[in-house]
Structure 1
Amino acid sequence: MTTPLILPTPDDPRLTRKVTGHDQTGAPVDISVVEERPLTIYLNRQEIVTAMTIGDHPELLALGFLRNQGMLRADDVVTGVDFDEEIETVVVRTARETSYEEKLQKKTRTSGCAVGTVFGDMMEGLEGVTLPAAELRTSWLYALAKQINTMPSLYLEAGAIHGTVLCRQDQVLVYMEDVGRHNAVDKVAGWMFREGCAAEDKILYTTGRLTSEMVIKTAQMGIPALASRSGFTAWGVEIARQLGLTLIGRLRGRRFVCLSGEERLVRDADLSAVEDEPRKAGRKGAGA
């Protein structure tokens, strides 16, 4: 098993702070809470957006946001990515001249917990997308879920955070966290763009809901499979089926539900060797 290239850093003092409060009995308690700070992204001379973020990997967040918005093309030559910590700004410079005034006028507020924004038509750029027919083994899914759920993370340290994990087979490659799942997936996209990472043999795992936004961004990145221990939205499922994306949700213990792209699944896991999770009390079916 290879060592992941990027993992969460819950001990980074810039990402959390200690806050004193009182518990249900009135006793004083100190807890860690996640930091949230603005990051303004420029593309060449044009201000694009200000995102609320935990503040790690700002350059990757900027690259991934611009790439997933269609403002950075696959063949664009990036001549510089400059982060100014004092004014909390990233400037991405390209050899190609850019102007997105019209695109910036059309905004869709997404379902992200930190209220994400998508510019232009949400389905723009997906018309010709054909996702690769890569296999997805259930043994990989179970191994990944176990690794990801037990890795040190800001979620375990302070909560109020989402994670997005880039995987290959049963290996965790890059694990990003942020207050909004849209930011976390954009950081992964930024890393893939910067490194020229191929997408056809990758799996994307998210700790959040499988929404239309997550499905669209996964497809834009060219990744054929998206998984989560959380649930689905109807539009997310509909778009996944249109695009041929394999969509796995409610992945808890031995259980999961596949609502799109079943043809990629290879059920090779020995379920007797997979540790199960108890079902939630008072809830029927496959879980939340």
Structure 2
Amino acid sequence: MNETQVPGAASPYLIAPDPSAARLTRKVTGIDHTGAETAVSVVEERPLTIFLNGQEIVTAMTIGDYPEYLAIGFLRNQGMLRDGEEITSVDYDEELETVVVRTASLTTYEEKLRKKTRTSGCAVGTVFGDMMEGLEGLTLPAAELRTSWLYALAHRINTTPSLYLEAGAIHGTVLCREDCPLVYMEDVGRHNAVDKIAGWMFRHGESPADKILYTTGRLTSEMVIKTALMGIPVLASRSGFTAWGVEIARQVGLTCIGRMRGKRFVCLAGAERLVRDMDPESVPEEAGKHRRKSAS
């Protein structure tokens, strides 16, 4: 799928959701609460098998957009692709539903992971031990975070046309710089959406030090670890936290913002880096039609 250029103000999205894309949703007919027939848009799920050189690594359930970024980001976030690793090709076969990522030399990780199925469920899809190993000695840059950026991002992201607003049952993750959203990815699993962001950053050599990662999903330990391993110093969400996620965020110096709704938010890690440059009372409440509930 081609990257979507979105016209906007000073800084448009580099990639944004395309709710009109034919392959991502389909109409399904059912019966509503009154007994009347109704047709609704539902999100498609399709398998994508990822190979690293000659090794089959995982099968992920995904909506099917940006498969190359998903594959690279998954391998990157699992520690199978390291800084400086040279990718020679990324080949996607839509008919076979496979992506093959090839590197200039064999990695040390192709024997490490036995074949397993990665579903769209929120509690699976990562090799947790390998990710925890990557945190050893990691400290993120002490990046400043202005509350005016948070309020601007929440408004812009929550009013951007998206698959969530079209069909629901999906997670969104947005890479941002200050008050500008840059790359907005969606998928049935929040890990997939984050992996697409990681793949885009790795492919384009994008620096993480000045970035904010916004997600609609819960701030679990795995989400915190993935953000930290990507080198992004700020993680924000409309949803809540887990205790271990907060503990890890404090350990690595990740600023962690949750429960962002309208003028409200809670910071449970990195509060000393918050710059309160905007009066919350000046922030309007969210319009009901733009509210985005966290996908379960």
- By the TM > 0.5 criterion, same fold? yes
- Identify the range of structure 1 (83-92 vs 234-243) with the bigger mean alpha-carbon deviation: 234-243
* 8 Å CA contact retained: 1:199, 1:222: yes
User: Residue 214 of structure 1 corresponds to which residue in structure 2?
Assistant: 223
Task: Indicate if the aligned counterparts of 2:92 and 2:99 stay in contact, CA closer than 8 A.
Answer: yes
Q: Name the counterpart of 1:238.
A: 247
Counterpart secondary structure, 2:131: coil
Of 138, 141, 146, the match for 1:137: 146
Contact 1:103 1:119 in 2 (8 A): no
Q: How far off is 1:110 after superposition?
A: 9.7
Query: What aligned pairs does 1:109-128 form with structure 2 within 5 A after superposition?
Result: 112-113=121-122, 115-118=124-127, 120-128=129-137
**CA positional deviation for 1:243:** 1.0
Q: Which of 217, 223, 232 is the aligned partner of 1:223?
A: 232
2:183 is paired with a residue of what secondary structure? strand
Runs (4 or more) in structure 1 with deviation over 4 Å come to 105-112
In structure 2, relative to structure 1, the CA distance for the partners of 1:61 and 1:196 (3 Å cut) is same
> What is the percentage of aligned positions where both structures have the same residue?
78
Please give the alpha-carbon distance, in whole angstroms, between the structure 1 residues aligned to 2:184 and 2:22.
18
The alpha carbon displacement at 1:101 in A equals: 5.3
Alignment partner of 2:269 out of 260, 280, 284: 260
Question: Unpaired runs of 5+ in structure 2?
Answer: 1-9, 288-296
Whether the 8 Å CA contact 2:62–2:120 is kept in 1: the answer is no
Code of the residue aligned with 1:208 in structure 2: it is G
The 5 A counterparts of 1:184-203 are 184-203=193-212
Letter in 2 for 1:130: T
Q: 1:106 deviation in Å?
A: 10
Counterparts of 2:72 and 2:245, CA distance in 1: 24
TM-score between the two structures when normalised by the length of structure 2? 0.90
Segment of structure 1 superposing worse, 121-130 or 196-205: 121-130
Question: Counterparts of 2:65 and 2:269 in 1: how far apart (Å)?
Answer: 33
Q: Distance in 1 between matches of 2:56 and 2:244?
A: 31
Q: Which residue of 2 aligns with 1:83?
A: 92
Q: Secondary structure of the residue that 1:14 maps to in structure 2?
A: coil
Matches within 5 A, 1:48-197: 48-100=57-109, 103-105=112-114, 112-113=121-122, 115-118=124-127, 120-197=129-206
Take 1:113 and 1:123, find their aligned partners in 2: how far apart are those partners?
18
1:114, 1:222 → 2: CA distance? 22
Letter aligned with residue 139 of structure 1: S
Supply the AA of the counterpart residue of 2:274: L
Unaligned runs of 5+ in 1: 279-288
* Residues 108 and 223 (structure 1), Cα distance of their counterparts in 2 relative to 1, 3 Å cut: farther
Q: Distance in 1 between matches of 2:282 and 2:199?
A: 36
In structure 1, the partner of 2:6 is: none
Q: Give the letter for the 2:242 counterpart.
A: T
CA contact (8 A) 2:216 2:238 kept: yes
**Does 1:275 pair with 2:275?**
no
Q: CA deviation at 1:125?
A: 1.1
Q: How many residues align?
A: 278
CA deviation after TM superposition for structure 1 residue 107, in Å: 7.9
Mapped partners of 2:93, 2:120: distance in 1: 29
Once the two structures are superposed, residues 227-283 of structure 1 have per-residue CA deviations (whole angstroms, 9 ceiling, x without a partner) of: 0011011111111111111000001111110000112110101223211359xxxxx
Residue 203 of structure 1 contacts residue 223 of structure 1 at CA under 8 Å; is this kept in 2?
yes
What is the CA deviation profile of residues 32-72 of structure 1, one whole-angstrom value per residue up to 9, with x for unaligned ones? 00000000000000000000000000000000000000000
State how far apart, in whole Å, the 1-side matches of 2:121 and 2:191 are: 6
